[in-house]
Amino acid sequence: QVHLVESGGGLVQAGGSLRLSCAASGRTFSTYAMGWYRQAPGKAREFVAAISGSGTRTFYADSVKDRFTISRDNAKNTMYLQLNSLKPEDTAVYHCALSRRYSSAQLARGENCDYWGQGTQVTVSS
């Protein structure tokens, strides 16, 4: 069983930055691809970014490319999402997730993860 806990969300003005963290339990953290997803009120959950187990491959949604950066520290069992140049449309609950079955490339193509965190709220004011 894997337990994921996000932190780092908050209220920020447009153009500002935040850094989200996702702490994971489990001894095989580095084996699995992980991703960040977000869900805005009244909208479906959407893919934001994915990273391979080793951290060498990353993928991004077009809407966040060049503004967000996904990374992981396997020694700390933690994944991160650096959010820069934030826009009001980035407002959402951000969830981290882990996949035992799929690669980061497959997550970027829409495959689903097996474990999910509860989420952290990001609110961007205009």
- The alpha-carbon radius of gyration of the chain (Å, integer) is 13
How do residues 92-122 score in pLDDT, each as one tens digit?
Answer: 999 999 999 999 999 999 999 999 999 999 9
Q: What is the pLDDT of residue 10?
A: 98
Q: Tens digit of pLDDT for each residue in 49-105?
A: 999 999 999 999 999 999 999 999 999 999 999 999 999 999 999 999 999 999 999
Burial 28-59 (b: 16+ CB within 10 A, else e): ebeebbbbbbbeeeeeeeebbbbbbbebeeeb
